[in-house]
Amino acid sequence: MPSPTRTANPSLAVAVLCIGGLTAALTQTLVIPIQSELPSLLDTSAANAAWVVTVTLLAGAVAMPIAGSLADIFGKKRIMVASAAILVVGSALVALSSTLVPVLAGRALQGLAMGFIPVGISLIREIVPPKMAGGAVAAMSATLGVGGAIGLPLAAWIAEVGDWHALFWVATGLAVVITVLTAVAIPHVQDAQPSRFDAVGAVGLAVGLVAVLVGISKATTWGWGDARTIGAIVAGVLVLLAWGAYELRQPAPLVDLRATAKLPVLMTNVAAVAVGFGMMAQAVVVPQLLQLPEATGYGLGQTMLAAGLWMAPGGLMMMVFAPVSGRLIATMGARITLMVGAAVLGAGYLVAYFLMEAPWQLLVASCILSAGVGIGYAAMPTLILDAVPVREAGAAVGLNALMRSVGTTLSAAVMGTLLTSNTVAAGGGLELPTKGAFQLCFIVGAVAAFVGVAIAAAIPRRRVEEPAGSDLAAAGAQAG
């Protein structure tokens, strides 16, 4: 078991981890403001251009559990530096490109850099004093949402005032800074557990995940009943079942499925799907409602930049609630904190259902929703870290982050289907979502969040006399 290594400046280390996580997450939403222009910018079809967004999400989902496993084998700092360097290469490649194939390659590399976040979360307890651990984990967890929320208005503004390549030059510059700071400011912990990397398991997981997530993410375009959608999802599930059988026979598996089957870990990961679903629902629905023409009677007529600015405070709320989440975890436990976060998330959707007549009303709802996400996201890594040994912390947190991604992907597909299947003619052959479609999305988001509350309630309490997932966890934020 690695011994704790306290850095002389833990606040600086946490700040670097948070900024690094925020930068990695920010790249996920960089192209959304210019998504409608991508076919002409890259001289390709709309269907091909859609992969510029999808490939990053797929690569990120695959990268998080694999990066966590690599971190447990080779050391967390090494993998974070490598992830940041991959972000530099990917961002620069897109910045230098104007055709589809190199842009897709660069965007895939940007997705792979998302491994920085779960590895950083799993490292925190080893480098900061116990009294800082809860708040630091909460802050690092919040970067998953904050980066995406800040990325929307930032990207919209850069795209309006300059060439779209500037988006990726900014990302390249940030990635270079993060690479250097990670190498310099993050202490090296002797946490490597030399072992054979499960390359076959990594390939199997990647193939299965990509197939399932492609089926889900393309369901809105292809149709849920389309043979391509069903075929991709079924094929992916079959591959994942075969992968699971293979992993159970390995002495050093990519993911220890027996450990993840422990009830605290399993239920936390299921709750992650519900909370991830709730987080993404607002990101899909609220900007569309803000940007619909006022002539519809319920649209709010905002520009993309204005809509992003109305959404940005919600992202900041996640960071504001990080220290609050840390205190809740320390006083009430991570299980209760997760329940509180999911309940606040559900309440935010109910507020949005009744208050959708003005941008400021959606701003209020968005802030409530984001507070719930911030609280819930902070609690989940703590529950995971308290339930697994230190040598498996990276892989376990990475798997939890993956389950959040599954929730966000599923949410985007479901919300897209609800909005496109309940439309009204707007002239010129244009179909726009009805007011009822938006309200239905808010209800579905609320239901998902309250299901998350129920799932979190089913997470077993950790008895006080039991050892935590590490010798550090007992001194850190107590689990629920």
pTM, entire model: 0.80
Q: Which amino acid is at 349?
A: Y
Instruction: Return the C-alpha torsion angle 151, 285, 305, 161, nearest 10.
Output: 60
Strands 431-433 and 423-425: antiparallel
CATH topology for the 10-197+254-475 domain: Growth Hormone; Chain: A; (1.20.1250)
Segments making up each domain of the chain, as ranges: 10-197+254-475, 198-253
Cβ-proximal residues to 366 (8 Å cutoff; 6+ apart), any chain: 282, 286, 310, 311, 313, 314, 348, 352
Per-residue pLDDT of the chain (480 residues; tens, 9 = 90+): 444 455 557 888 888 998 998 888 888 778 877 777 888 889 988 778 888 888 888 888 889 889 988 888 888 899 999 999 999 999 999 999 999 999 999 999 999 999 998 899 888 878 888 778 777 887 887 777 677 667 777 777 877 777 889 889 999 999 999 999 999 989 877 766 777 888 899 999 999 989 998 888 888 888 888 999 999 999 999 999 999 999 999 888 888 888 888 888 899 999 999 888 887 888 888 888 988 888 888 889 888 778 878 888 887 787 788 778 888 888 888 899 999 999 999 999 999 999 999 999 999 999 999 889 888 888 888 888 888 877 777 778 888 888 888 888 888 888 888 888 888 877 666 778 899 999 999 999 999 999 999 999 998 876 433 433 334 333 333 333
Q: How far apart are CA 358 and CA 380, in angstroms?
A: 34
Taking Cα atoms as reference points, which of 455, 433, 451 lies closest to residue 443? 451
Taking Cα atoms as reference points, which of 402, 400, 395, 391 lies closest to residue 471? 391
